[in-house]
Structure 1
Amino acid sequence: MPGMQHYRRLLATPGIKSLLVLMFFARIPSTASGMAVTLHVAVGLGHSYGAAGLAGAVVTIGHAVGGPIAGRLVDRYGLRTLVLITTIGEALFWIVAPRVPYALLLALGFVGGMLILPAMSIGRQAIAALVPPESRRTAYSLDSISVELTYMFGPTLAVLLCTQAGTRAALTWLGITIVVLGAAVYLVNPAVRSEDEAPVGQARPPRKEWLTGRLIAVLLVGGAAVFVLAGMEVAIIADLRAYGELPLTGVVIAASCVASMVGGLVHGVVRRSLPSVVLLTLLSALCVPIGLAGDAWWILALAVLPMSLMCAPTLAATAESVSTLAPAAVRGEAMGLQSAALTLGGAAGTPVIGFVMDHSSPSWGYAAAGIGGLIIAAIAAVAVVRGRRTPETVAP
């Protein structure tokens, strides 16, 4: 097929296949953790869904806060130091979490979230180290497709474990999985710097020199994209519930994920990508009218496809931009900031759009998600324009 030589060339790069496989599995605990804690509180401890949602949110916020800190540790001390700290810390958390009351679980959840292995940012750092700049669009597109698969698999696995084995057993097994995967990452120790870049631990440029308007715009775009996607998903659930077709939610969301992966594959072979702000604008604008679709699940599944085609390309473009704009000496922190932006965007999307629909209808949920994305796209565009007035630091 035309364009597939880009992927063949990428997969011929030494170490890239094993990296993609390892990072796919290493991301599963972070995508499953919030759901596992939520179900433990609601089912295992018997609390309300509001309390369960708060517990899951605390873990998510901790993960977002921990991302930049973890990245800074990688920049200064190397990957293995971070993996050792997070693996031991997470093992302790998942052993204790099923055995403490709710109030203590909330406090521990924030710390446990901070200690989740930041597999997403680690994978993107390693791609920047392994893959030459001219192939990074293809690499980050493939990585975004892998992320889509992980988010399809991780929460589903958490639900399966919690419902079949009980929430205590599920949290314990999650801890064991984290130890195994952490040990695998420690042993493989993927490179986070290329041979021609400064080694880990070298002097860092001041943050004001690299955290420029353009990079901030990229972070805003990533967070906004996940905000829109999270809002769309909760609107789909509300829509199908109103139609009386709630059991088909998984089919509609799966169709959205497949479309996103197709978009990612195409994005990976184009010669010139659209700017991430433009991709976010398209993603958001195509979300607004979804609520005008008919009242059948298959019509809704078709309606979400155009927007979904923009998902993986938008996220891939933001990762590529971060790898270009951030100097190698601070790449870990920059990728951690991007991971935090994505996490917070998703954490905000569900409650905000849920609130809108509580006071209107599911159709307004899509519109609100899209309008929110368009507003942030406009802010990001202003940051890009202002950033062009000052010289940018690029990765050596």
Structure 2
Amino acid sequence: MSFRRYQKVLGIPRVMSATLFMFVAGLPLTIMTLTLSLHVLNEMGRSYFDAGLVGTATALGFAVGSPLLGRMMDRHGLRPVVAVCGTVSTAAWVTLPLVDFTLFVALAFAAGMFTVPTGSLSRQFIASLVPEDYRRAAYSLNTMLMELSFVITPAVGILLITHYSATSMLVGIGVWRALSYVALYLLNWPIRNPHEAVAVEEPVRLKWREWLSARLIGVLLVSSGALFVLFGTELALIAVLRENGEIAFTGYVIAATSIASIAGGFVHGIVHRSWSLTRLAVTMSVLLLPVAFFDHVWWWLLLALLPTNLLCTPTLAASSEAVAELAPPSVRGQVMGLQDSANRMGQTLSMPLVGFAIDNVSPSMGFVAAACGGLVLIGIATLCSVRQASAQA
């Protein structure tokens, strides 16, 4: 192991400032869906179905918008996209509290679609600023900060919503993001390094068949499978603790598993040789299966979840590294936007399927469903890789 890897990464010009800025700018993203749902439930007096409909609209907006905005950045650069999309999304967020439910759903979709994807953009900055030899450490650091945001923001967001209102939070999110867009426009960090920028200026543009390889599809599926496991695990955790009357301990369990995930990511970034993406994702999924037998007491559950969570950040960091390696510079934004969409797909598929297992079998079977769903997506990814290898043979 070499702790100097992180020191060298942070010593690269603009890496520390870009990484920290994108962490701060992306904090509201982790509370967006919850804030929208609570506004629908509390301020609008609507049903849980309506709140779920708004959440789905926002998720679909993100899934559609991420690759499209990435493609626009590939063609026109960072500033034009930030200026246009920042204006539209900010207008959508501050208008949301003023409209009826039908327009609310439409604006929620627009807010998601035109939100500049902080996650994929930060990965683009890393790919452009950091040499390949240090990207594992850089992506590990980026993913650890993302994990940290999921620890900090929901607790702070709930506190603010409780003391003020979900409506105030909607406006606050819009203002926060607007200030972030202004700063991002002024800072204008590169999305390609100088050598890549020169190459992209050539008039020949790649067609999607030239870059959307079976290997890239496999990486996107593995990334989607990892998110299926993670969000399914969270839902199963809440179901088990609620069944046991221990819902008050949810925060402790989530905090402990998040710390384990960050610790795993830290080690992943400093080792000289790490596991492959597929091995990390498969092991993370398999380690979740026996958790179903430790559902009696909250601290048993906490201990049982630690091994699989140790591999959470390493898996997500490895998927980002693999996408950066496979994405040609001229379409990097679009490819990384597709990764965001794949992650959203995993999240969207996970909730109803794991919920079905919880409702019809038992809360603890939610962990089994989450693991099996992830393994299915990883298996499909493996078939894609085998197919490509056979075609090349």
TM-score (norm 2): 0.96
- Paired position in structure 1 for 2:297: 296
Question: For residue 142 of structure 1, what is the amino acid of its counterpart?
Answer: L
Query: What is the rounded CA distance, in whole Å, between the counterparts of 2:192 and 2:358 in structure 1?
Result: 46
Query: What is the rounded CA distance, in whole Å, between the counterparts of 2:2 and 2:339 in structure 1?
Result: 29
Contact 2:5-2:270 at 8 Å conserved across structures: yes
1:129 paired to 2:128: yes
Contact 1:214-1:388 at 8 Å conserved across structures: no
Paired residue secondary structure (1:362): coil
Deviation at 1:73, TM superposition (A): 0.8
Contact 1:63-1:114 at 8 Å conserved across structures: yes
Deviation at 1:279, TM superposition (A): 1.1
Deviation at 1:30, TM superposition (A): 2.0
Query: What is the rounded CA distance, in whole Å, between the counterparts of 1:32 and 1:71 in structure 2?
Result: 23
- Paired position in structure 2 for 1:88: 87
Question: For residue 129 of structure 1, what is the amino acid of its counterpart?
Answer: S
- Paired position in structure 2 for 1:347: 348
- Paired position in structure 1 for 2:213: 212
Contact 2:25-2:176 at 8 Å conserved across structures: no
- Paired position in structure 2 for 1:178: 177
Contact 2:350-2:370 at 8 Å conserved across structures: yes
- Paired position in structure 2 for 1:106: 105
Question: For residue 132 of structure 2, what is the amino acid of its counterpart?
Answer: P
Query: What is the rounded CA distance, in whole Å, between the counterparts of 2:26 and 2:177 in structure 1?
Result: 10
- Paired position in structure 2 for 1:189: 188
What are the Cα deviations for residues 262-312 of structure 1, in whole angstroms up to 9, with x where unaligned? 111111122223221111111111111111015111111111000001111
Q: Which moved more, 1:382-391 or 1:74-83?
A: 382-391
- Paired position in structure 1 for 2:321: 320
Query: What is the rounded CA distance, in whole Å, between the counterparts of 1:352 and 1:15 in structure 2?
Result: 42
Query: What is the rounded CA distance, in whole Å, between the counterparts of 1:181 and 1:318 in structure 2?
Result: 26
1:12 paired to 2:50: no
1:329 paired to 2:330: yes
Q: 1:1-396 counterparts in 2 under 5 A?
A: 2-199=1-198, 202=202, 203-389=204-390
Query: What is the rounded CA distance, in whole Å, between the counterparts of 1:159 and 1:101 in structure 2?
Result: 24
Contact 1:30-1:116 at 8 Å conserved across structures: no
Query: What is the rounded CA distance, in whole Å, between the counterparts of 1:101 and 1:157 in structure 2?
Result: 28
Deviation at 1:54, TM superposition (A): 1.5
Q: Which moved more, 1:117-126 or 1:80-89?
A: 80-89
Contact 1:30-1:117 at 8 Å conserved across structures: no
Contact 1:76-1:201 at 8 Å conserved across structures: no
Query: What is the rounded CA distance, in whole Å, between the counterparts of 1:243 and 1:339 in structure 2?
Result: 35
What are the Cα deviations for residues 62-116 of structure 1, in whole angstroms up to 9, with x where unaligned? 0111000010011000011111122101111012101111121112211111011
- Paired position in structure 2 for 1:394: none
What are the Cα deviations for residues 302-347 of structure 1, in whole angstroms up to 9, with x where unaligned? 1100000111111111110111111100000000000111122122
Unaligned runs of 5+ in 1: 392-396
Question: For residue 226 of structure 1, what is the amino acid of its counterpart?
Answer: L
Deviation at 1:222, TM superposition (A): 0.7
Query: What is the rounded CA distance, in whole Å, between the counterparts of 2:80 and 2:381 in structure 1?
Result: 35
Query: What is the rounded CA distance, in whole Å, between the counterparts of 2:390 and 2:271 in structure 1?
Result: 29
Structure 1 vs Structure 2 CA RMSD: 1.4
Instruction: Count how many residue pairs are aligned between Structure 1 and Structure 2.
Output: 390
Paired residue secondary structure (2:257): helix
Paired residue secondary structure (2:271): coil
